[in-house]
C-alpha cells in the first residue's frame, strides 16, 4: 500500500515525511468529510462562487485518489445538505449541473479503479437528470470492492433519523420493545456502511452541521482552518497522523 503512494508523492516533500509516520495497520476504515469553504475561497480571490465549487471538485479528486491508494474502505463526502436549498437558485442549479457533468465525464475513472459509488439522502427531491446519472453510475459500480465513495446529497441527519423511525414503526409496530441500536441502524441510509472512524471538517467551523448524527457518536473529529478547495493529500495525511495518536475507548477505560 505504501508503494502505491510513493509514485503519487514527491520525494523529500512534506507529504513523504507524513507518509513515513503512518502505521498502515492502524488506518481508519471509514473517513467522512464535511467539505466547507468553497464560497469563502472564491470570495477571498474576488471570484464568482462557481469558481470555488470547481476548485473544490479538484480537492475531491485528490482526496478520493489518496484514500484509494491508502486502502481506505469508505469515504463519505457531505456534498449537499437539506439546508443548502436556501442558497441562491442560480448557485444550486450550477451545483447540480457540475455534479451531472462530473458523473458523465468521470465514471470511467471509477470503473477503471474499481471504486463503488453510493448515494445517501432523500434522493427523490434531486433534479431528474442528476438522479438518472447517479442511478447509472451506482449501477455500473455496485459490485466494486476496492473503496466505496458515499455521496451525501440532500442529506440531513435529523431527517434520516425521522425517516428511519417511520420505517421501523411501520414494520415493527407490534414489537417495539425488541428494537435496539443494532436493529435501528438497519433503517438508516448507511445500513450497509460502518460508522466513520474519522470525521474531517474544513474551514475551521466548530460544528457538525446535521451530518451523520447517529453514526459519528464515537468518531474522532479533526478540524482544519484550510478551506475545502485548498485541502489536498498533505492535509489528509496530517489528519491521519493525528488520528493515530488518539486513544479510542468507546466509553471504556481502556483503548481499543
36 carries an active-site annotation: yes
CA distance 233 to 213: 26
Q: 10 Å Cβ neighbour count for 56?
A: 24
Q: Tell me whether strands 74-81 and 147-155 are parallel, antiparallel or unpaired.
A: parallel
**Which one is catalytic: 4, 10, 20, 36?**
36
CA distance 41 to 80: 17
**Which one is catalytic: 84, 113, 172, 210?**
84
172 carries an active-site annotation: no
Do residues 188 and 164 lie in contact, with contact meaning Cβ atoms separated by under 8 Å?
A: yes
- Using H for helix, E for strand and C for coil, what is the string for 88-141? CHHHHHHHHHHHHHHHHHHHHHHHHCCEEEEEECCHHHCCHHHHHHHHHHHHHH
Task: Provide the sign of the torsion angle of the four alpha carbons 44, 49, 52, 56, taken in this order.
Answer: positive
User: Residues with catalytic annotation?
Assistant: 36, 84
Amino acid at each position: 500500500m505504501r508503494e502505491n503512494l510513493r509514485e503519487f508523492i514527491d520525494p523529500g516533500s512534506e507529504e513523504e515525511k507524513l507518509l513515513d509516520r503512518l502505521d498502515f495497520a492502524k488506518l481508519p476504515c471509514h473517513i467522512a468529510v464535511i467539505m466547507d469553504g468553497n464560497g469563502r475561497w472564491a470570495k477571498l480571490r474576488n471570484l464568482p462562487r462557481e469558481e470555488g465549487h470547481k476548485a473544490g471538485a479538484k480537492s475531491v479528486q485528490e482526496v478520493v485518489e489518496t484514500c484509494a491508494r491508502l486502502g481506505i474502505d469508505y469515504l463519505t463526502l457531505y456534498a449537499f445538505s437539506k439546508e443548502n436549498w436556501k442558497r441562491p437558485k442560480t448557485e444550486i442549479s450550477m451545483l447540480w449541473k457540475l455534479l451531472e457533468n462530473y458523473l458523465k465525464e468521470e465514471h470511467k475513472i471509477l470503473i477503471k479503479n474499481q471504486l463503488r459509488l453510493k448515494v445517501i439522502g432523500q434522493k427523490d427531491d434531486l433534479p431528474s437528470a442528476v438522479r438518472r446519472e447517479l442511478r447509472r453510475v451506482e449501477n455500473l459500480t455496485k459490485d466494486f470492492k476496492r473503496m466505496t465513495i458515499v455521496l451525501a446529497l440532500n442529506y440531513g441527519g435529523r431527517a434520516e433519523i425521522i425517516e428511519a423511525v417511520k420505517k421501523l414503526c411501520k414494520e415493527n409496530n407490534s414489537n417495539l420493545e425488541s428494537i435496539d441500536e443494532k436493529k435501528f441502524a438497519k433503517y438508516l441510509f448507511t445500513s450497509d456502511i460502518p460508522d466513520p472512524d474519522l470525521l474531517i471538517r474544513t474551514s475551521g467551523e466548530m460544528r457538525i452541521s446535521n451530518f451523520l448524527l447517529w453514526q459519528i457518536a464515537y468518531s474522532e473529529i479533526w478540524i482544519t482552518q484550510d478551506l475545502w478547495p485548498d485541502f489536498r493529500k498533505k492535509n489528509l495525511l496530517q489528519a491521519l497522523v493525528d488520528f493515530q495518536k488518539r486513544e479510542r475507548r468507546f466509553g471504556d477505560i481502556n483503548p481499543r
